[in-house]
Amino acid sequence: MPKTSEERRLPRKEYEARVPDLRAALVQMQVDLKAAPFPVLLVIAGEEASGKGEVVNILNAWLDPRGVETFSFHEPTDEERERPAMWRYWRSLPPRGRMGIYAGSWYTEALRDDPRSPRELTDFDHVLRRIAHFERLLSSDGALIVKCWLQLSKEAQRERLRELEDDPRTAWRVSPEDWKSHRDHDRLARLSERLRRATSKPGAPWQVINAADPRRRNLAVGDYLLKRFRTHLAAHNRIPAATKPRRVTSLHLSGLHRLQSLPLNQQLSGEVYEEKRDKWLGRLNHLVRAAAERRRSVVWVFEGWDAAGKGGAIRRLTDAVDARDYRVIPVAKPTDEEKMHHYLWRFWRHVPRAGMVTIYDRSWYGRVLVERIEGFCRENEWRRAFGEISDFERQLTEHGIIVLKFWLQISKEEQLRRFRDRENTQYKNHKINAEDWRNRRQWRAYEAAVGDMLASTGNRTVPWHLVPANNKRFARLQIIKTSCQQIAAALEG
């Protein structure tokens, strides 16, 4: 068969003449990247013997190793296995201004199982959808995702394997599995096409690169990376900064109505409360331990107005859980490391190990509340967040984690009473500051945002539990009871 121009080998001299300029451009790219507000993810995937490892090493030689990190994923560690599948990739993500080269990636794992039966292929498709979602999440946050698929025809693959075997320095790299996969070339090529079709999306397209000639292949990867980077940087500079919206208006009145129609005038005597509380706390203790025995984790999410009683409710809950088994994550301003990442990164960090409990005191919902209202993110960002958050929670529940989320609702008058009480009681003084008063002045804006949150992020698996919290005793008891019911249902289900 006559060779195409792409398969004809590029003479070494021509290659060496081109490399210095490419290297200089790549290093310049790294300089520009340092100041850029996005990370670069470069995924190198492809057929057996297409030279993925070589490409990764060449790129690392060309680049300044100080701004780049290379990842490959072997068997998940036990800490990784105990979390949802994407956790190990979240923890590897480069921060803004830096670059990650993925020698192994989420694709390696998707292909590892070598799906064949219709059922396996359905699972495969599911994994691919999850990957596409992951990449869309990152790319819409600004990440530059560059994916190269190194392709070899069956003939070129055979030639390449022979070449490797013939050279004593590389012979060790060819294993019987490589020949097996070579014999299976056509089926695997169809499988990888299915993979690329399912995951080639705007913002994360696949670039297929002919890998028959290693020199052309190296240049093609470098050129493509550069081209994508330049386009991306130029586009990014045109994005306007986020600004504080003049008004916050409801997208969905249904959520607002649900919030406003919640009766808040419950009464509960101290005596009845204590008796019921102890009964339910005992139950809760039992249920959390039963969940842990089945390696099921529990994630509690608490949101609510300032002074709605989140702290107190959490204290009651934790009375029922062994202190060695839970962590409370108070969510305030992100740290500067957290700011360098996608807004969900800092919550992924704290996803509990199997059988453990994480309690988020405020949470990812800050994206659609304070960030929306204060203009810390752009409108398209918080609008997108509703779906992103639902998907995040779905990943938790699919892994078997029981997710319980509560909104603590108080009236504006009740808040005022509590603020004043905090100001007038010396030991509560530290619990109130100017920001609380500022937030209070934006009550209507928050109400609209909370309503939208309720309408857009609750579903049957992870519903919002609205808790009337003007009466603290009533609120605490309801939280404990609801938690019991939900955990019991999850363990039965």
Q: Which stretch binds a second copy (CB under 8 A): 152-160, 257-265, 323-331, 468-476?
A: 323-331
Q: Which residue has the tokens 């070129």?
A: 156
Distance, in Å, from the CA atom of 442 to the CA atom of 65, rounded to the nearest integer, reads 48
Which residue, 77 or 265, is less far from a second copy as judged by CB?
A: 77
Give Cα 233 distance to the centre of its chain: 23
Distance, in Å, from the CA atom of 403 to the CA atom of 393, rounded to the nearest integer, reads 7
Q: Does 337 bind a second copy (CB under 8 A)?
A: yes
Number of residues in contact with a second copy, rule: CB under 8 A? 45
Q: Does 304 bind a second copy (CB under 8 A)?
A: no
Which residue, 104 or 255, is less far from a second copy as judged by CB?
A: 104
Q: Shortest distance, CB of residue 197 to a second copy, whole angstroms?
A: 28
Q: Shortest distance, CB of residue 315 to a second copy, whole angstroms?
A: 6
Instruction: List the one residue out of 12, 19, 70 whose CA is nearest residue 221.
Output: 19
Q: Which stretch binds a second copy (CB under 8 A): 70-78, 150-158, 236-244, 402-410?
A: 70-78
> For the sheet containing 402-409, what is the strand order?
326-330, 357-361, 298-304, 402-409, 464-468
Q: State which of residues 28, 122, 249, 459 lies at the interface with a second copy (CB under 8 A).
A: 28
In angstroms, how far is the first alpha carbon of the chain from the final one?
60
Which value, to the nearest 10 degrees, does the dihedral of the CA atoms of residues 242, 243, 245, 246 take?
A: -160
Q: Does 71 bind a second copy (CB under 8 A)?
A: yes
Q: Which stretch binds a second copy (CB under 8 A): 77-85, 139-147, 197-205, 214-222?
A: 77-85
Instruction: List the one residue out of 402, 383, 258, 243 whose CA is nearest residue 321.
Output: 402
Q: Does 404 bind a second copy (CB under 8 A)?
A: no
Q: State which of residues 21, 186, 336, 492 lies at the interface with a second copy (CB under 8 A).
A: 336
Q: State which of residues 10, 22, 27, 188 lies at the interface with a second copy (CB under 8 A).
A: 27
Instruction: List the one residue out of 53, 225, 65 whose CA is nearest residue 145.
Output: 225
Write each residue from 44 to 63 as x if it is in contact with a second copy (CB under 8 A), else as -, in one continuous string: ---------x--xx-xxx--
Q: State which of residues 33, 42, 51, 70 lies at the interface with a second copy (CB under 8 A).
A: 70
Q: Shortest distance, CB of residue 425 to a second copy, whole angstroms?
A: 11
Distance, in Å, from the CA atom of 401 to the CA atom of 487, rounded to the nearest integer, reads 10
C-alpha atoms less than 13 angstroms from C-alpha of 313 in its C-beta half-sphere: 35
Token pair belonging to 240: 């306007």
Q: Shortest distance, CB of residue 69 to a second copy, whole angstroms?
A: 6
Evaluate whether 135 touches 203 at the Cβ level (below 8 Å): yes
Which three-class secondary structure state does DSSP give residue 144? strand
Q: Does 235 bind a second copy (CB under 8 A)?
A: no
Q: Does 167 bind a second copy (CB under 8 A)?
A: no
Q: Which stretch binds a second copy (CB under 8 A): 27-35, 204-212, 225-233, 483-491?
A: 27-35
- Residues 6+ away with beta carbon under 8 Å from 322: 289
Q: Shortest distance, CB of residue 88 to a second copy, whole angstroms?
A: 11
Q: State which of residues 330, 380, 398, 421 lies at the interface with a second copy (CB under 8 A).
A: 330
Which residue, 65 or 240, is less far from a second copy as judged by CB?
A: 65
Q: Does 356 bind a second copy (CB under 8 A)?
A: no
> For the sheet containing 144-151, what is the strand order?
68-71, 99-102, 40-46, 144-151, 206-210
- Alpha-carbon torsion (313, 314, 315, 320), positive or negative: positive
Q: Shortest distance, CB of residue 277 to a second copy, whole angstroms?
A: 13
Q: Shortest distance, CB of residue 97 to a second copy, whole angstroms?
A: 12
Token pair belonging to 131: 């990957």
Which residue, 259 or 408, is less far from a second copy as judged by CB?
A: 408
Q: State which of residues 17, 31, 235, 253 lies at the interface with a second copy (CB under 8 A).
A: 31
Which residue, 60 or 485, is less far from a second copy as judged by CB?
A: 60
Q: State which of residues 314, 403, 469, 475 lies at the interface with a second copy (CB under 8 A).
A: 314
Q: Shortest distance, CB of residue 67 to a second copy, whole angstroms?
A: 8
Give burial (CB, 10 Å; 0-12/13-18/19+) of 124. buried
Distance, in Å, from the CA atom of 3 to the CA atom of 1, rounded to the nearest integer, reads 6
Distance, in Å, from the CA atom of 121 to the CA atom of 139, rounded to the nearest integer, reads 26
Q: Does 427 bind a second copy (CB under 8 A)?
A: yes
Which residue, 187 or 294, is less far from a second copy as judged by CB?
A: 294
DSSP string, 281-344: HHHHHHHHHHHHHTT--EEEEEEESTTSSHHHHHHHHHTTS-GGGEEEEE--SPPHHHHTS-TT
Which three-class secondary structure state does DSSP give residue 388? helix
Q: Shortest distance, CB of residue 331 to a second copy, whole angstroms?
A: 10
Q: Does 172 bind a second copy (CB under 8 A)?
A: no
Q: State which of residues 64, 163, 278, 398 lies at the interface with a second copy (CB under 8 A).
A: 64
Q: Shortest distance, CB of residue 390 to a second copy, whole angstroms?
A: 26
Q: Rule CB under 8 A: which residues touch a second copy?
A: 24, 27-28, 31, 34, 53, 56-57, 59-61, 64-72, 77-79, 101, 103-104, 311, 314-315, 318-319, 322-324, 326-328, 330, 335-337, 359, 361, 427, 430
